[in-house]
Amino acid sequence: MFELILIDLPNLRRLEASEPVDLGGMQTVDGALPPARVATHALAQIDVGTPARWCAPFLIVSRNAVLGTCRFRAAPADGRVEIGYGVAGSQRGRGVATEAVRQLLEIATSSGLVKEVVARIVPENAASSKVVSRLGFSKGDLLVDHDGQTLAQWSLRIAT
């Protein structure tokens, strides 16, 4: 029903510059693409040799329309990888994020590099917390990120 397509380098650069992306005729639902800072972060990681699949956003596509994006925030380190995801407001509540995270888990598992997947979620974001809870993540401690924002850390151990 949903497919993940890794965004290519030219479109990643367009996103960083807040320019229109060229998705080959695919429609983009309003609010589906990530902010420029996500592209900037991914491009910086690619520049130091991180493979794109571990830092660039994946487009969440259904019926030739981009509904949102998801990604790994960096390459696995010590068997651990963090994920992030976002879905256009008009597409929420339809299982889009759940399916996208499920597919990220498949990628992480099949890599052989990941033993734990982590998602850091604003505690007030009940919908996002439900997504990871539904997929078997356990809620851990609250932490404060580099921006001073309090986040709940959710984690899922991968069976090896």
- Which amino acid is residue 79, in one-letter code? G
Each residue's pLDDT tens digit in the chain (160 positions)?
Answer: 899 999 999 999 999 999 999 999 999 999 999 999 999 999 999 999 999 999 999 999 999 999 999 999 999 999 999 999 999 999 999 999 999 999 999 999 999 999 999 999 999 999 999 999 999 999 999 999 888 899 999 999 997 6
> Which whole-number Å values give the CA distances from 17 to 35, 43, 54, 57, 102, in the listed order?
10, 12, 21, 15, 30
Model pTM score: 0.94
Cβ density class 40-74: b for 16+ within 10 Å, e for less: ebbbebbeeebebebbbbbbbbbeebbbbbbbbbe
Identify how many contiguous H helices and E strands the chain contains and give both numbers. Answer: 4, 8
